[in-house]
Structure 1
């Protein structure tokens, strides 16, 4: 369910931001990973035109042709990604910053912060070249540390949250310069757009308040955004035609502008990453919708949106859904594959093992950050309960089937007893022949199931008094023969009872073995997932460390040694954290997993033994 027609995702109603439920429903139906491109900038700078180009449409996002800002809140368009199969491209067009009609800078700051939080590529759109005025207009980036938290209980260093935390989840930064009419030059030489951006982000070496004010937005861009790119656009047409931009054909536009727009779109399609969360967690439409609502809930409550809290909320919701999805898969597959009644318990347990393995795999695919194994345990308990239900249904089906068949086979015996057929000399022998015939015919009944012996044993018990009566009234037998026949009947009953107990013991052992296999399978898959998540987190930390090292080298190259102190401290902390992860995480994590499963196995086995004893 994609929305190729733009929908308002976040409504701005009298300065209050709220989610549009229809847009959230569209997102919740997108199960594919999403690439999220958000564009921000001053109003009336042509943001919507670029979004329409990315969407492959001439119209869609409102362009407007007056001094009024048309886009209010954040609008969304979802289209199939043109170059990444099985991905959805989510385009977010934000309301113009600095709109004099709003008169509310706080609203602009939240729009800016939300665009950063939700996107994997963040496009800042401005008019003309990058000068101090352009940097001053980008003051929103300097306020991000007041608007966003990486962790709920983040350790602060010198009162500032480690910028590496931001760099680990901030989007790539693309600055688009519109209607540029000057050549990009510095120190007498021409610059590429990327070189121009790097040149514009150079810091001053001074330490005066003026120097600090000059450096602050540049420092924030350099510290927070892992990758930076710049595009320059010439004016698309003469100014009289600009108000009709969406209706102009390409041959009516400046050829350089057309090429530049094409280059921009190609870059976004090729290099924009899938939206991910710390730990390499891919975001799909459903997860993106939850993040939107979580961030807006934080803003409306007066707190600062926190990535860690948002991920925790997301994990709780997604893991609960993963448990339900996995449990439903188990139930559906068991219902399809098991034909009740089964001939043996092991037949059912083998199907159970296969279905449980698939269900655990479904859970692993859709869950993440189940650090305390809360949802893993919930799933295993749920599957165990469902397995017991299938076993009970299996036994009940077997019981009713066997009882019905035995009733039909013993109907003639009941008729003969009623009419006194066996109340004659030699009647006991006739009775035994009739009962043996029932036994043989009963053995031929197919798919009797687990209760076959128990049902026949109950039948024999019901015949004890009948046989004794026939035996005592049979005048063809001596007292000695009667005594021997009675003893033989008792022996046969005892053997059947022992056989039944041995069957129950075997079934209990089979259940225990099945439990062990279930726990072993679940433990193996959980360990694999824990190791994978740990490796993803480690790679992410090493990536951030590498970016910090390069940033340090750049500062040193620019001769800004006085700016390197905080960055060196960040690098040392990051190196220490990575070393600690490498030394401790694997063994501790796996030991915790083993302890959990040992406890679970003992609890379930104890319950199974108690149930078996009650049956006996």
Structure 2
């Protein structure tokens, strides 16, 4: 589905079964597999019964969809998914992930909650945390799962951790939006009005000190600051009376708190307008199929008892996607060459090479359009080998059809002469001269007939060699020829055969030169296409670096306004690290082009 057939209702993507094990739902996985568009993935987490599903339904432009809980019992189990055409990004699909409420007393399984939280982070490009009341220490304690992210998620296969690792987390982790429901305070600090974002940044400020109490206070705040590349906040008034909350999905906007409706619209507009496409390391955008494979890979890793590794998951994705891209490219090339088979045999080698060039370029376009982080060009080289092998098959087919056609023509032209031989017409005085004239007529007629293909000269030479004994027998039987004349005729026949052999050799050399020239021309064209893709990948990485730096500068500006000097220093240090990484990426020449 390039979202031609949008889902009418959500389905469960990752089920929480009776054994409290997370299981991928095959129906949901198949939906993702059919989505070829880039995906913008919004996941929401939070305590159960905090109104997460209501916000997600609004993002979908619907009142109903994700089930709203009207009682103290949590309704959403596991992670539910809703895929719809993106309302503001043409050619993109919006994937909404509504998660099971954290801290459900009936479930009583913090381990399971932690994995739900981690999967929401791993799969989303835009992460929303939903809470009630204010952003205080209690709310931070509800968000304690964020402190376990680096214990449960590994960036790469190395056991060693780098102090600059947080920079890399920012590249692959989603944006962070905190939605505070039923907010009743004034947005003020020191008597001055502040924005929602300033409120969040104030709440994320660290306390000085080294005590265990301070460390516990700072830990969730550090994690949010370190691992999420951007931070946004929305506060919401209470939507309506307690009685009406029980059937909120049936109420119209006119029945709700006007301020709450406006706040909800602002949240939806921001999320739909600013929401980013899901990417992996290197800024590579992913589609539904890749998202589905990511989900399956992570869930299988959790089942195995291992820690999900983002680098390893991308390696698995790359193999799956590149294998599929290579197969699609091979199928495209073979189908196009097969459609050209009706024009076999080609009259010249150039005609066949032009067919190959066009088909190869289309196939390469198919591969490059879907290939995924083939940095060492392993899959590209394998594709090239396969296309060369298939081209050899079609070249052989072209030659066989040429040989078959030439033999058919010669059989027709030879038939009258064969009849004369069987009747002994040539076995009499002057018979050799008549045979020679008839043979000359055969050769001339054969040359004039079109559509014989590249084997015309070789097949003719082979045919004349096979009839040599017949010709010699007729010449020896003709008593009107002197021995000297017979030797002269024999020499003429040898010279003609030698001349044809020379022409055949020259033609083969020419074909070889044409093939080398075509390979060089194809290589240059393929190199151009590959360089264009590499440049597009570099541009994507540059845009990612630029965006990360802009986000960090915005945070610095907010903190400056609030005069938190210690925090400014840390943010500026992070900014310098991002700029250094940007400079390194720009110096990197990328992949080398391999013939």
- Is the pair's TM-score, using the shorter chain for normalization, greater than 0.5? yes
Q: 2:52 aligned with 1:47, yes or no?
A: yes
- CA positional deviation for 1:22: 1.3
Aligned counterpart for 1:506 among listed residues 510, 515, 537: 510
- State the partner residue of 2:523: 519
Aligned counterpart for 1:461 among listed residues 460, 465, 469: 465
Q: 2:384 aligned with 1:380, yes or no?
A: yes
- Greater shift, 530-539 or 460-469, is seen at 530-539
Separation in structure 2 between the aligned mates of residue 481 and residue 291 of structure 1, nearest angstrom: 85
- State the partner residue of 1:605: none
- CA positional deviation for 1:183: 3.3
SS at match of 2:246: helix
List aligned pairs for 1:60-99, cutoff 5 A: 60-99=65-104
Separation in structure 1 between the aligned mates of residue 160 and residue 580 of structure 2, nearest angstrom: 15
Q: 2:471 aligned with 1:470, yes or no?
A: no
CA contact (8 A) 1:205 1:560 kept: no
- Greater shift, 290-299 or 386-395, is seen at 290-299
Q: 2:113 aligned with 1:108, yes or no?
A: yes
Q: Structure 1 residues 565, 288: CA separation in 2 closer, same or farther (over 3 Å shift)?
A: same
SS at match of 1:93: strand
Separation in structure 1 between the aligned mates of residue 558 and residue 60 of structure 2, nearest angstrom: 37
CA contact (8 A) 1:278 1:540 kept: no
Separation in structure 1 between the aligned mates of residue 78 and residue 46 of structure 2, nearest angstrom: 13
- Greater shift, 480-489 or 562-571, is seen at 562-571
Q: 2:126 aligned with 1:124, yes or no?
A: no
- CA positional deviation for 1:546: 5.7
- CA positional deviation for 1:93: 0.5
Separation in structure 2 between the aligned mates of residue 54 and residue 579 of structure 1, nearest angstrom: 37
CA contact (8 A) 1:179 1:233 kept: yes
- CA positional deviation for 1:427: 0.8
SS at match of 1:156: coil
- CA positional deviation for 1:474: 1.2
- CA positional deviation for 1:568: 7.0
Separation in structure 1 between the aligned mates of residue 564 and residue 241 of structure 2, nearest angstrom: 44
- State the partner residue of 1:284: 287
CA contact (8 A) 2:230 2:551 kept: no
List aligned pairs for 1:384-399, cutoff 5 A: 384-399=388-403
Separation in structure 2 between the aligned mates of residue 305 and residue 324 of structure 1, nearest angstrom: 28
Q: Structure 1 residues 267, 310: CA separation in 2 closer, same or farther (over 3 Å shift)?
A: same
- Greater shift, 350-359 or 457-466, is seen at 350-359
- CA positional deviation for 1:358: 2.1
Q: Structure 1 residues 564, 246: CA separation in 2 closer, same or farther (over 3 Å shift)?
A: closer
SS at match of 2:94: strand
Per-residue CA deviation, residues 307-361 of structure 1 (Å, 9 max, x unaligned), is 2111111111111111111112222222234521100111110121122122222
Aligned counterpart for 2:301 among listed residues 269, 280, 298: 298
Separation in structure 1 between the aligned mates of residue 174 and residue 225 of structure 2, nearest angstrom: 13
Q: 2:249 aligned with 1:252, yes or no?
A: no
Q: 2:276 aligned with 1:273, yes or no?
A: yes
SS at match of 1:11: strand
Q: Structure 1 residues 12, 184: CA separation in 2 closer, same or farther (over 3 Å shift)?
A: same
- State the partner residue of 2:441: 437
Q: 2:534 aligned with 1:530, yes or no?
A: yes
Aligned counterpart for 1:58 among listed residues 59, 63, 68: 63
CA contact (8 A) 2:236 2:263 kept: yes
- CA positional deviation for 1:428: 0.9
- State the partner residue of 2:264: 261
- Greater shift, 247-256 or 346-355, is seen at 247-256
- CA positional deviation for 1:542: 5.4
Cα RMSD after superposing both structures = 2.3
Q: 2:421 aligned with 1:446, yes or no?
A: no
Separation in structure 2 between the aligned mates of residue 90 and residue 529 of structure 1, nearest angstrom: 27
- State the partner residue of 1:196: 199
Q: Structure 1 residues 567, 349: CA separation in 2 closer, same or farther (over 3 Å shift)?
A: same
Q: 2:151 aligned with 1:151, yes or no?
A: no
Q: Structure 1 residues 303, 563: CA separation in 2 closer, same or farther (over 3 Å shift)?
A: farther
List aligned pairs for 1:295-334, cutoff 5 A: 295-334=298-337
SS at match of 1:5: coil
SS at match of 1:372: coil
- CA positional deviation for 1:581: 4.3
- State the partner residue of 1:15: 20
- Greater shift, 212-221 or 345-354, is seen at 212-221
Separation in structure 2 between the aligned mates of residue 37 and residue 134 of structure 1, nearest angstrom: 21
Q: 2:349 aligned with 1:345, yes or no?
A: yes
Aligned counterpart for 1:361 among listed residues 357, 362, 365: 365
Separation in structure 2 between the aligned mates of residue 230 and residue 223 of structure 1, nearest angstrom: 17
Q: Structure 1 residues 552, 48: CA separation in 2 closer, same or farther (over 3 Å shift)?
A: closer
- CA positional deviation for 1:79: 0.5
Q: How many residues align?
A: 589
- CA positional deviation for 1:537: 3.2
Separation in structure 1 between the aligned mates of residue 195 and residue 569 of structure 2, nearest angstrom: 31
Separation in structure 2 between the aligned mates of residue 86 and residue 513 of structure 1, nearest angstrom: 40
Gaps of 5+ in 2: none
CA contact (8 A) 1:38 1:93 kept: yes
List aligned pairs for 1:596-611, cutoff 5 A: 596-597=594-595
CA contact (8 A) 2:70 2:246 kept: yes
- CA positional deviation for 1:478: 2.1
Gaps of 5+ in 1: 598-616
Separation in structure 1 between the aligned mates of residue 334 and residue 459 of structure 2, nearest angstrom: 28
TM norm structure 1? 0.90
Separation in structure 1 between the aligned mates of residue 555 and residue 234 of structure 2, nearest angstrom: 22
CA contact (8 A) 2:230 2:552 kept: no
Aligned counterpart for 1:38 among listed residues 43, 50, 54: 43
